[in-house]
A and B are shown apart, each in its own frame.
Chain A
Amino acid sequence: MVTTTIPAADGSTAPEDLIKIELKEPWIAALLAWMLPGLGHIYQGRTGKGLLFFICILGTFFYGLYLGGGKVVYAAVPWEQQYRWQYLCQLGVGLPSTPMLVQRSKALKDSNFTGFMAPPRRGPMEWKDDSGKVSKQPNELAMWTLKYHPYFELGTVYTVVAGLLNVLVICDAAAGPLVITQNQGDRAQSKKKEP
């Protein structure tokens, strides 16, 4: 059982004013925080913050997924399919993004595999836009980018940001809030003033 203390809201570091936080088992809290944003905090009894993280991060992630037509979250590595570095960030959200790994393994066996969180298929394909004009796109990713523009990019940004935010949440679950005390702030300011 691990506990940590942080200064009070007004910055007071007097022992009687310190806020004590029960981190319980930090590695379990960190793992739960990765699996589902906010779950690590709920495990520690920090329910308010857990709910805040749950709503903010999963809200951002699923809204991004919705904006991108369900196509913005998929797994691809350079030597197998069209490279998607964003999936490394999207994995930060935890279990909600793991279906893309399952879909990736299915797509590796069947190049025509398509579905929710499945990677785009290779090879040229035709696409008919809203005006009825048919164009030939080099691959399915190009077709998605065109079809959902600009929401494909927006959705990607939303889901990537959600994943990266959860990294901060995992750190908070494992070690408590990152508080900059007044002393650290004064030291930073005095360093700036020195020639």
Chain B
Amino acid sequence: MIFPLLLAVSEPTGAPLLAVMNMWYALPLIVSVSLVCAATRHEEIGPILQHAMRFGLWIVVFMAVVMGVLTLIGMLA
């Protein structure tokens, strides 16, 4: 079920969602925000990196869910 969504066509460009290059610009931002937010919560490097990975993953999953919902709405419309 996820695979068709990933290959879903996004209107109006007609390009598969993951091929929309602008979306990949979110990646450096996610890394930067995760590291800084985690570093303001911990003092040692180990917990900082662990927290950053969890936080970054949370952001990616959240964005993917929103992307999936919007794609579904677009397909149903």
B22 touches A49 (CB 8 A): no
Number of B residues contacting the other chain (C-beta, 8 Å)?
A: 19
Cβ of A46 under 8 Å from chain B: yes
Q: Which residues of B contact A171 (CB under 8 A)?
A: 40
B46 touches A56 (CB 8 A): no
A9: nearest chain-B partner, CB-CB? B47
Cβ of A178 under 8 Å from chain B: yes
- Our pick among B25, B33, B41, B46 for the contact of A177 (Cβ within 8 Å) is B41
- Our pick among A9, A52, A67, A176 for the contact of B35 (Cβ within 8 Å) is A52
B17-40 with Cβ < 8 A to chain A: 22, 25, 28-29, 32-33, 35-37, 39-40
Main secondary structure of the interface of A (DSSP, over half): helix
A51-103 with Cβ < 8 A to chain B: 52-53, 56-57, 59-60, 63, 67
Size range of the chain A interface in the assembly: 20 to 34
* Bound CA–CA A177/B51 (angstroms): 13
Give the shortest distance, in Å, between A160 (CB) and chain B (any CB): 11
A165 touches B33 (CB 8 A): yes
Assuming the contacts A48-B45, A177-B41, A177-B42, asked whether A158 and B29 have C-beta atoms less than 8 A apart, the reply is: yes
Closest 6 A-B residue pairs measured CB to CB? Answer: A172-B40, A56-B32, A60-B32, A165-B36, A9-B47, A168-B40
Which residues on B are within 8 Å of A, measured CB to CB?
22, 25, 28-29, 32-33, 35-37, 39-48
